[in-house]
Amino acid sequence: MSEKRANPLTKSLERIGSGALFALRVIRDAFRAPFEVFYLLLEVADQGWRSLPLIVSSGLALGLVMTLHTRNVLIKFGASAWIPSLQSISFFVEIGPLLAALLVAGRVGAGMGASLAEMRATEQIDAIEALSVDSFKLLVVPRVVACVLVLPLLTTFMDFCGVVSGFLSEHFLSHLSLQLYLTRAFREVEWSNFIPPTIKTAVFGFIIGTVSCFFGYTTNEGAEGVRKAATNSVVVSSVLIIIADVILVKIIFFLFPENAV
């Protein structure tokens, strides 16, 4: 009886352990020849280029909404000149990195999980192994590395779009000039507000790539496995991104104390 009750916990712990070993294997194989440069470039193009419309439209919309929400409050306190600064720092430090990561987890993570699970279900992964080709290096490593490389770039686009839509909003509402908006937007911004939060998205990329590939590559349940892999990839990646964000923010505050002020 007690053994039956312990099973779900044991299974969960086994799954976490398998996931950790999977992540370590990704890191080890990423630095081991042969390097799948061709497939890496394909993944970068697929994940980056195809995510760009989602990132740009979301950045523009969120930047607009954020300005509309904050300007009334800041005007009440006589701080309307701070609207551009608030917009840029919010996007660079937190909104851009976190939102880009969550959007990529939804679009790319689900796709990677589902495609690998389908390859498992249709015996494509077995076929690669049967041909004496390392399926892990061919299918998993390029996807994870592409995620790590692409997410900081997409975050930069997200930041840029947030600032641009903030300007457009301010320009239409208060006729603020571009030059004055940019001056105010970047007055309080340090490189340490931009570079560490953008680099931290590489960790988010690793989480998305590894989690999605883990669920897709290790499934063995046919069509049902494809559905589970897609869902679990998004849910688990998103939760881990938020947890990692808390930890990484503390690390950034420790390394760059001026950011915490």
Q: Name the site residues for another protein (rule: CB under 8 A).
A: 34, 42, 118-119, 122-124, 126-133
Distance between CA 233 and CA 220 in Å, rounded? 15
DSSP alpha helices (H): ranges in the chain?
A: 2-30, 37-44, 50-76, 83-90, 96-104, 110-121, 124-130, 135, 141-174, 178-187, 191-217, 222-255
- Nearest alpha carbon to residue 207 among 77, 19, 30: 19
Nearer to another protein, 133 or 178 (CB): 133
Q: Which is nearer to another protein, 128 or 168 (CB)?
A: 128
Give the shortest CB-95-to-another protein separation in angstroms. 34
Which CB, 119 or 161, lies closer to another protein? 119
Q: Least distance in Å: CB of 140 to another protein?
A: 14
Instruction: Give CA–CA dist 227/220, Å, rounded.
Output: 12
Nearest residue (CB) to another protein, 33 versus 261: 33
Q: How far is the CB of 104 from another protein (least distance, A)?
A: 20
Q: 18 vs 183, which CB is nearer to another protein? A: 18
**DSSP codes joined into one string, 227-249:** HHHHHHHHHHHHHHHHHHHHHHH
Beta carbon of residue 208, minimum distance to another protein (angstroms, whole number): 19
Q: How far is the CB of 46 from another protein (least distance, A)?
A: 10
